[in-house]
Chains A and B, each alone.
Chain A
């Protein structure tokens, strides 16, 4: 089994909590941009995206925006590692909606809006559920 790992610098962590608080009681969402070396992913930048949620979901980032983010990341030799969103009233585990609508390959960071807990997930290739990925924090100034 492949072991993926995700590294977050403190400023990204602080940004995630700040965005979650500012959007509550709505969900916030955005992209995680950074570097990938083999199966190690290092998030460098958090890009908040306006939530365009519609009836089926409580956060939504349109493909047009994803395309722009992909091109933006590629222009700085980085890539879109994944996306984050908050769960204002439930835990940081993926919901049934998250599973139903999940895109493969990306990591999903979920912030528990109540406890502030942050967990990281990646869709399994049989789409049966998510595998949790360990998050390591990068030491250093925010």
Chain B
């Protein structure tokens, strides 16, 4: 008794209708060669010119895929064995044919990469990424995502370009000062890559709009520099189940991680609660080396692209820390906290909350002021009282270099940097109204909290800091 090569019905026309062809070959490869030598058209279909089996051909020996057998095509054939030839069916609209010639040239260095290729480039084109904040981090994030061909980029920002932004926010040029960031950013990103679409969200992200805005996107990249927005974005991403690419910068140090929207650790697993107001300065207060957001923002773009491609190891479960001065990288392992109020096993935060209140209890400037809240005075009110000749002591809690840029010395303001406020509190008269100010109103609130703990009562916070004075009272004042 011999062995047989069996064909599916569609191939039988190449064997004059025969379903099974007898063979006395000693192994599978010889059997296939014998049968196809007898039927040359079948040979042309099954083998390449160089004698290799074509990609679609699968060969089974008694129902075992020969690729799984130890000797593969050299497996011996015994009498009664059945060698089955079965095609696998594949093809389809080649992704390449859906890219224009210009796109092919533009993305050539990507397509060359095995890890990206046509399929990866198509994934990038189909992806929708939200960039929250179009500043120092948002600039490289937006530019690299646009250059990479991410099909839809949403830019969320409500600010205008300020001269002090240009030291690091490379999306903007000097002539853009005063213009809406979202407008300039969209124009710049479209100019870089006209094949993508840029959606401008000229809004401040809030608990009211965050879920609606972010729901439109696959990946959320955070380029903001304040705690309320960071917690807001984190919680929204967990609730929406979207990956959140986190980055932050201050002075010479940067952090980057990926929070996996419910699937991995989230920002709250790392920092359950925000630091006390005033403890961590903003970049405006503490300064930042201009190139640092370029580094951290580029890494955020990298992680977003890896998430889209589904390639490589992302920073999910890891926090990378970079010190630019010493050039040291550190990496911390992050674990999901089962007690996390947002992504834990029994979450207590199941809807967005008031993040201004969460990060600075009692200081929400737009909310009705509760009795324990810090009294505010606006720049206009302060100016009025000074002109009335009221007895007001002005305390500036910024750093000396900030004082040198602009100050209210002509109204008798005295400089006591925040970290000296307590030890120098005797310089502050308890029997008069004291207005404390910083750049924007956050450090001064911290100073007032400290002084209140020592029994001071007649303390007022200059709402919006010296910036609002510059805007409303003295436009000639140098600002930063």
Contact = CB atoms under 8 A, between A and B. Distances in A.
Interface of A: 25, 27, 29, 36, 53, 55-64, 66-67, 70, 73-74, 79-83, 85, 87-90, 94-106, 108, 123, 125-127
Nearest to A83: B89
Interface in B440-458: none
B86 A70 contact: yes
6 contacts: A60-B89, A96-B94, A101-B56, A104-B14, A108-B91, A125-B44
A95 B91 contact: yes
Given A36-B9, A55-B119, A106-B10, A66 B89 contact: yes
B13 A105 contact: yes
A96 B87 contact: no
A61 B86 CA distance: 11
Given A80-B10, A89-B98, A127-B44, A103 B89 contact: yes
A97 B94 contact: yes
A79 B92 CA distance: 23
A102 B84 contact: no
Interface string B36-49: 00000110110000
Contacts of A98: 91-92, 94
Contacts of B94: 58, 95-98
**Which of B91, B95, B97 lies at the interface centre, i.e. has the most chain A CB atoms within 10 A of its CB?**
B91
B126 interface: yes
A99 B54 CA distance: 12
B10 A79 contact: yes
Minimum-distance CB pairs A-B, first 4: A105-B10, A58-B92, A63-B58, A103-B87
Contacts of B127: none
B13 A55 contact: no
Contacts of B12: 105
A129 to B, nearest CB: 13
A27, A98, A102, A105 pick with most chain B CB within 10 angstroms: A105
Contacts of B98: 89-90
Interface of B: 8-14, 41-42, 44-45, 55-56, 58, 60, 65, 84, 86-98, 117, 119, 126
A23 to B, nearest CB: 11
Contact of A96 (B13, B45, B97, B119): B97
A28 B65 CA distance: 26
B92 A85 contact: yes
B14 to A, nearest CB: 7
B89 A29 contact: yes
B86 A67 contact: yes
Nearest to A66: B86
A27 to B, nearest CB: 5
Contacts of A66: 8, 86-89
Contact of A85 (B55, B56, B91, B126): B91
A43 to B, nearest CB: 13
A58 B95 CA distance: 8
A57 B91 contact: yes
A125 B93 contact: no
Contact of A55 (B41, B86, B91, B117): B117
B368 to A, nearest CB: 49
Contacts of B8: 66, 70, 80, 105
A58 B93 contact: yes
Given A55-B117, A102-B56, A90 B97 contact: yes
Nearest to B46: A104
Contact of B89 (A106, A125, A126): A106
A102 B119 contact: no
B188 to A, nearest CB: 29
Contacts of B117: 55
Contacts of A80: 8-10
B49 to A, nearest CB: 10
Nearest to B13: A105
B88 A63 contact: yes
Given A66-B89, A103-B88, 9 more contacts: A53-B90, A56-B90, A60-B90, A70-B86, A81-B10, A97-B93, A104-B10, A105-B45, A127-B44
Nearest to B92: A58
Contacts of B89: 29, 59-61, 66, 83, 103, 106
B44 A61 contact: no
Given A63-B58, A89-B98, A105-B10, A97 B91 contact: yes
B39 to A, nearest CB: 12
B187 to A, nearest CB: 28
B10 A126 contact: no
Contacts of A61: 88-90
A82 B10 CA distance: 8
